[in-house]
Amino acid sequence: MIYTLMYGLTIGAILYFISVGLSLTFGTMRVTNFAHTITYTIGVYLLIALVQQAKVSYLWAAVLSVLAVVPLGYLIERFIIRRLYGESLDYTFIATFAVSLIGVDVVKWMWGVQPKALGDPIRKYVDLVGFPFPVYRLLIVIIAILLFLALQILMKRTMVGKIILAALEDRERVRCLGIKLDKYFSFAFILGSALAALGGVLYAPLTSVHPYMGTTILLLCFAVVIVGGMGNLKGTFLAAFALGMVIAVTARYWPPGAETMVFVVMAIVLMLRPIDV
């Protein structure tokens, strides 16, 4: 049981890293961003290249690959997302999906389609109420909680965060105050992309890495964002862990249904409270 709990928390933490960016992008810019997978997947592949080919230590490789993804996020924001402000959601959907299509193909081109694996970088176990549990998974959960607190501080205490938070509520009114929102939107987008890459980098050692990994997890993350409420950061945090637990519990009793249960939850939430966009 404690395994299921911890497994759920780990999955929830990973989902949280990736969903935050989606939630921010949607809340501020009203763009449903399928291209989010790209930073995630490319971050993971950079990490693998650094660790396995350049023999960089895992920690430095992780930092480097997250940093390397930042300019990519900027480029996507500058040339694709910025041109989609105020467009109907169909077009943003299709355009960002096209970007993700290109990105997946680039990954296939550079690194091939074979799944890769990366071992647990810590390989230590900690005693949890009598069960040995991998430290690495525990670390991921702790980082996720720290990230949540850091984001709360960023949003509530700094000017940048306050403006983004205000834009989540009412963009037009913030614009009327004479604040140039584009800059803050770019910041939110790039932050989200970097966090997605961070999630990928942390998750990579626990799973097999292949070019389509982003698409699979992105669908789950859309479910998280919908269940938590688009643009609602606290809701996203809670929803990520709740859905992580759903996955873990289903995986324990009925393994093949694990990911589908998330969609069932999402469908129920959408039925009860449709998004009005």
Partner 1 sequence: MRPAKKETVNGRAFPSTGGVAGKPAGRQAERPGSRDVLEFLIIGGCFVALAPLLRAHRVTDFMIFCIFTLSFDLLYGYMGRLSFGHLLFLGAGAYGAGLFLRHVTSNPLLAILLGMSVACLLAMIVGLVTVRATGACFALINLAFNQTGWFLVMSPLRKVTGGQDGFGVEAARLGWIDFGDAAFRFWFVLVILLLMFFLLKRLMRSPYGILVRSIKEDETRVRFLGYNTYLYKWITFVISASVAGLSGALTALNYGYVNPNTMDVHKNVGAVFACLIGGAGHLYGALVGGVVYMIISNFLPVYIRRWEMFLGAALLVVVFRFRRGIWGSLEPCLSRAAAGGRLRTPPDKGALVK
When binding is defined by CB under 8 A, the residue of 189, 222, 237, 241 that contacts partner 1 is: 222
When binding is defined by CB under 8 A, the residue of 2, 5, 54, 102 that contacts partner 1 is: 102
Q: Under the criterion CB under 8 A, does residue 91 sit at the interface with partner 1?
A: yes
User: Which C-beta is closer to partner 1: that of 154 or that of 261?
Assistant: 261
Q: Under the criterion CB under 8 A, does residue 94 sit at the interface with partner 1?
A: yes
Q: Under the criterion CB under 8 A, does residue 53 sit at the interface with partner 1?
A: no
User: Which C-beta is closer to partner 1: that of 146 or that of 264?
Assistant: 264
Q: Who contacts 242 (Cβ-Cβ below 8 Å, separation ≥6)?
A: 12, 227
Q: Under the criterion CB under 8 A, does residue 267 sit at the interface with partner 1?
A: yes
Q: Under the criterion CB under 8 A, does residue 139 sit at the interface with partner 1?
A: no
Q: Under the criterion CB under 8 A, does residue 85 sit at the interface with partner 1?
A: no
Q: Under the criterion CB under 8 A, does residue 260 sit at the interface with partner 1?
A: yes
When binding is defined by CB under 8 A, the residue of 2, 5, 89, 146 that contacts partner 1 is: 89
User: Which C-beta is closer to partner 1: that of 51 or that of 262?
Assistant: 262
What is the per-residue binding string for partner 1 in 227-256, x denoting contact by CB under 8 A? -----------------------------x
# binding residues, partner 1 (CB under 8 A):
42
When binding is defined by CB under 8 A, the residue of 101, 143, 160, 238 that contacts partner 1 is: 101
Q: Helix/strand/coil (H, E, C) string of the chain?
A: CHHHHHHHHHHHHHHHHHHHHHHHHHHHHCCCCCCHHHHHHHHHHHHHHHHHHCCCCHHHHHHHHHHHHHHHHHHHHHHCHHHHCCCCHHHHHHHHHHHHHHHHHHHHHHHCCCCEECCCCCCCEEEECCEEEEHHHHHHHHHHHHHHHHHHHHHHHCHHHHHHHHHHHCHHHHHHCCCCHHHHHHHHHHHHHHHHHHHHHHHHHHCEECCCHHHHHHHHHHHHHHHHCCCCHHHHHHHHHHHHHHHHHHHHHCHHHHHHHHHHHHHHHHHHCCCCC
Residues that bind partner 1 (CB under 8 A): 32, 80, 83, 86-91, 93-95, 97-102, 104-106, 108-109, 215, 219, 222-223, 226, 256-257, 259-260, 263-264, 266-267, 270-271, 274-277
